[in-house]
Structure 1
Amino acid sequence: MTAMIREPLTDPARLNRVGDPDRPGMRRGRRLFKWLLGSDPHPTPGQMASIRQAMLAGDPLADAVVAMYHRLPAGQGRKLLDQALEQGLHTFDDPPEELTALFHQIDHEPIWLDRAQLRLACEVSHRVGLAGELVLRNLSLMGGYLAAAAAKPLAFTGELDRMANRRLVETGKFWIDVTTPGGLERDRDGFKSAVRVRLMHAQVRAMLLKSDKWDPAWGHPLNQWDSMATILEFSVIFLSGLRSLGFLFSKREREAVVHLWRYVGYLMGVDERLLPACEADAMRALYQVIATIGESDEDSRRLGEALARASLQDSGDGWLAKRLGRLEYTLRAGYTRYVLGDDAGDKLGLPRTATKYVWPAQIPLRLGAELVRKSVPSVNRSLIRLGERARREQFPKRVQRLKADTSFTPVNKLAR
């Protein structure tokens, strides 16, 4: 028997996931962001109403395509999507209305899109090498688990250890695709991966709404506010994590990274009214995400522990490999505690470790290297090439080792 879709929440006042932006713990952060921005980023009553509404909103265009999937024989909907992505809507005699509406949006190139900024953002992403993976995994993804309601879609997939590795591989492929120079051109992998991830999210959203596990008081699953916050994880949070290691970025480079992820967010169905247009917008949005974040819970801890254990599972066989895996696990946990603090580390179930002091200790060396890089253009170009080669070589090995799926196909069952 088909499960009944639970009635979606329409009254923002009934949301139980919204943190109080005026809580005492926000005072220091408010002062810091006010100093960084030169203005007060604290959400106004009108902005709080907009935030709550965004927590109740899905992605109508992608959701309609998924509803179309359910009306067709199994697998047929995905085939139609792939045809539209790979060959274009013009190859259909009579394309479904849902696909036409979706591709009308994604094939419309925004007037604000700057391809030169996309290229610069890709160079920045390459230049930082494997440090970028550290930050994405142990700050961006790990920090996202602190918001219990936003993390529920992942928690409900079950088999968290296996799913942690799958998410790392899927996120890695997605990131590589969209940060490859030219990757966001219409016929390239970055563009296609962004759209496929968007449809995967819509499929997960539909599964959750049909299940009896989703509490409407958490808002809409994979809603607009959480989706915008995910864009921040790849842009200003990514840059902040790298700067905490001693990396230096010019204003032009930081704006380019925000611009690239603004376009990725557009392709992934994030409301343009929510997408930051510049670094200052992104930092203001980040403050508001932090100010309204809800409480962590047991699922936050389970997800954090599973993501941390991925280092142990991926270490390979043999005594030395396992010892190195354990060292990596400890160092990564230390980095998370360094950037997010011990309170967050405890909520995520991470071990308390002195390795958190390793990361700030290397800042003087990194700063010295960065000053050399900025002074010698050939060094900068070499680092871009080395970083691109490192991720091109390392990622396929990880996929093969884990026998991972990189097709962005949602898990077809929910746990618990």
Structure 2
Amino acid sequence: MVLQQEPTPFVSVSGEERIMTSMMQELPLDPAKLNRVGNPNRAEVRKVRTLFRWILGSDPHPTPKQMTVIRESILSGDPLADAVVAMYGRLPAGEGRKLLDQALEHGIDTVSDAPAELRSLFKQIDHEPIWLDRELLRLGCEVSYRVGISGELVLRNMSLMGGYLAGAAAKPLVFTGQLDRMANRRLVETGKFWMDVNTPGGLERDKEGFKSAVRVRLMHAQVRNMLVKSDSWDMRWGYPLNQWDSMGTILEFSVIFLTGLRALGYLFSRREREAVVHLWRYVGYLMGVDERILPTNEQDSMRALYHLIATIGDSDDDTRRLGEALANASLQGREGWLQENIGKLEYTLRAGYTRYILGDEAADKLGLPRTLTKYFWPAQAPLRMGAELVRKATPGSNRMLMWVGEKARKNAFPEQVKKLKADTTFTPVKKLFR
């Protein structure tokens, strides 16, 4: 049975009041009918619970009321962005996006007779939260620059791969073909977003990081609108690109990112870890994640990560399909004997890292080959840790590593965009829907 639901209608007070937060909207399905929420009391969660209890100093297990919030979040969209997409539908094709771009580039007050939906969205994103610390934003960006290509390894082969283990959460990618049909191209487009928001100063109101966060938010709302109107979407999987999965994505870029790097031997101070979490807290705010489920610090983020792990749903055929497609991206676009063999080595090393960091059971579900390269990564960790100790003791080393990381990005990224003809405007392509 397929259950369909139109996006939550726009709710306005005096024309411009903020739309009610997503968890207050009428749910499209009885939460008890969701088939994607794992039982947090199942046996395989017990070891993880013990580990997180030790990390946090308290029991992170979700209470019954927290489970209610989780289920409601899985059935909640982003009313502010969803309302803007509904507004797009009332205007000539392309006109809504033009209004959005004008407001992003020049401010909402420059839009003549701006629709109430657009004003409500910009009232939220133009508001600077009282908790925002721009020095922490800068430090979070510097950490991401400093780790160089290791950051890409972790994001791709731990964060993204791990996200595919929840079959229902990965459905939007499968339906839009974003990674199973055009893996390398979509990786470049995701890389554009990551680079924009991680550039020091990039989240200032007039910079690309801020604009990219908002454009990705609206792209998600457009995909969500298309999926809930399709005949193929089953609401028992949850709302597509819902609040809970969006919060999980923020964790993928923050504490999961840091965990994967630390497993490689990287060292971070407490302030550096908090800075990365703070950076992605603000990105999450701009992207419409409800502040009531958006972690405020590293401790909150680790507790939320446990909740994600404890309630993750079953893997399915789409898990394997996406895992294999992402792994095979290393083999694509290789010309000549040397490049082909470099691609095979990269494929094996990346698969080994996923096995090392996520475990053999998860890697099997993702369709990754069994390889001894999983032992390479822990073996090199002591050497990396030694290099990190030297870095910490050497004045100016952080600045040098940041310069190297920035130069590598600026040199490689435009060439990748050109080669793959990647769209970095964050516009969904309807024809990709299966």
Calculate the TM-score normalised by the size of structure 1. 0.97
Is 2:364 aligned against 1:346? yes
Q: In structure 2, what residue type is equivalent to 1:340?
A: L
Give 2:19's aligned residue: none
In structure 1, which of residues 141, 151, 159 is the aligned counterpart of residue 160 of structure 2? 141
| Cα separation, 2, equivalents of 1:357 and 1:399 | 33
2:228 paired with 1:209: yes
Q: Kindly tell me: are residues 388 and 29 of structure 1, through their superposed partners in 2, closer, same or farther at Cα, counting changes over 3 Å?
A: same
**CA apart distance, 1:376:** 1.1
Q: The residue matched to 2:396 in structure 1 has which SS?
A: helix
Shift of 1:142: 1.0
Q: 2 CA distance for matches of 1:210 and 1:343?
A: 35
SS of residue in 1 equivalent to 2:77: coil
* Letter in structure 1 aligned against 2:364: D
CA distance in 2: counterparts of 1:193 and 1:23, whole angstroms? 39
Letter in 2 for 1:261: W
What value does the CA root-mean-square deviation take over the aligned residues?
Answer: 1.4
The alignment partner of 1:413 has SS state of helix
Q: Distance in 2 between matches of 1:405 and 1:146?
A: 27
User: 2:400 maps to which residue?
Assistant: 382
Decide which of 117, 130, 133 is 2:136's aligned counterpart. Answer: 117
Residue matched to 2:18: none
Which of 361, 369, 378 is the matching residue for 2:387? 369
Q: Distance in 1 between matches of 2:80 and 2:429?
A: 21
**Alpha-carbon offset, residue 158 of structure 1:** 3.3
Cα offsets for 1:148-192 (capped at 9, x unmatched): 111000011237544322321121000100000100000000000
Greater shift in the superposed pair: 213-222 or 278-287: 213-222
The residue number in structure 1 matching 2:330 is 311
User: What is the distance in 2 between the residues matched to 1:13 and 1:145?
Assistant: 23
Contact 1:334/1:354, CA 8 A, preserved across alignment: yes
Q: Which runs of 5+ in 2 are unaligned?
A: 7-26
Counterpart Cα distance in 2 of 1:377 and 1:118 = 22
Deviation at 1:392, TM superposition (A): 1.8
Alignment of 1:163-202 (within 5 A): 163-202=182-221
Matches within 5 A, 1:235-314: 235-314=254-333
**Per-residue Cα deviation, 1:353-391 (whole angstroms, up to 9, x for no partner):** 111111111011101000000111211221111111112
User: Which residue of 391, 401, 408 maps to 2:409?
Assistant: 391
> 1 CA distance for matches of 2:158 and 2:412?
20
Asked if the contact 1:17–1:294 (Cα under 8 Å) also holds between the matched residues in 2, the reply is yes
User: 2-side partners of 1:303 and 1:185: how far apart?
Assistant: 34
Following superposition, the deviation at residue 204 of structure 1 comes to: 0.3
CA displacement at 1:97 relative to structure 2: 0.5
- Say whether the 8 Å CA contact 2:29–2:235 is kept in structure 1: no
1:253-287 CA deviation, whole Å, 9 max, x = no partner? 00000000000000000000111100000000000
Task: Tell me what 2:431 maps to.
Answer: 413
Q: What percentage of aligned pairs have identical amino acids? A: 74
Q: Which amino acid aligns with 2:415?
A: K
Runs (4+) off by over 2 Å: 4-10, 158-163, 413-416
Q: Return closer, same or farther for 1:237/1:159 CA change in 2, 3 Å cut-off.
A: closer
2:110 match = 91
C-alpha distance in 1 between matches for 2:101 and 2:53:
46
2:88 aligns with: 69
Segments of structure 1 that go 5 or more residues without pairing to the other structure are none
Aligned residues: 413
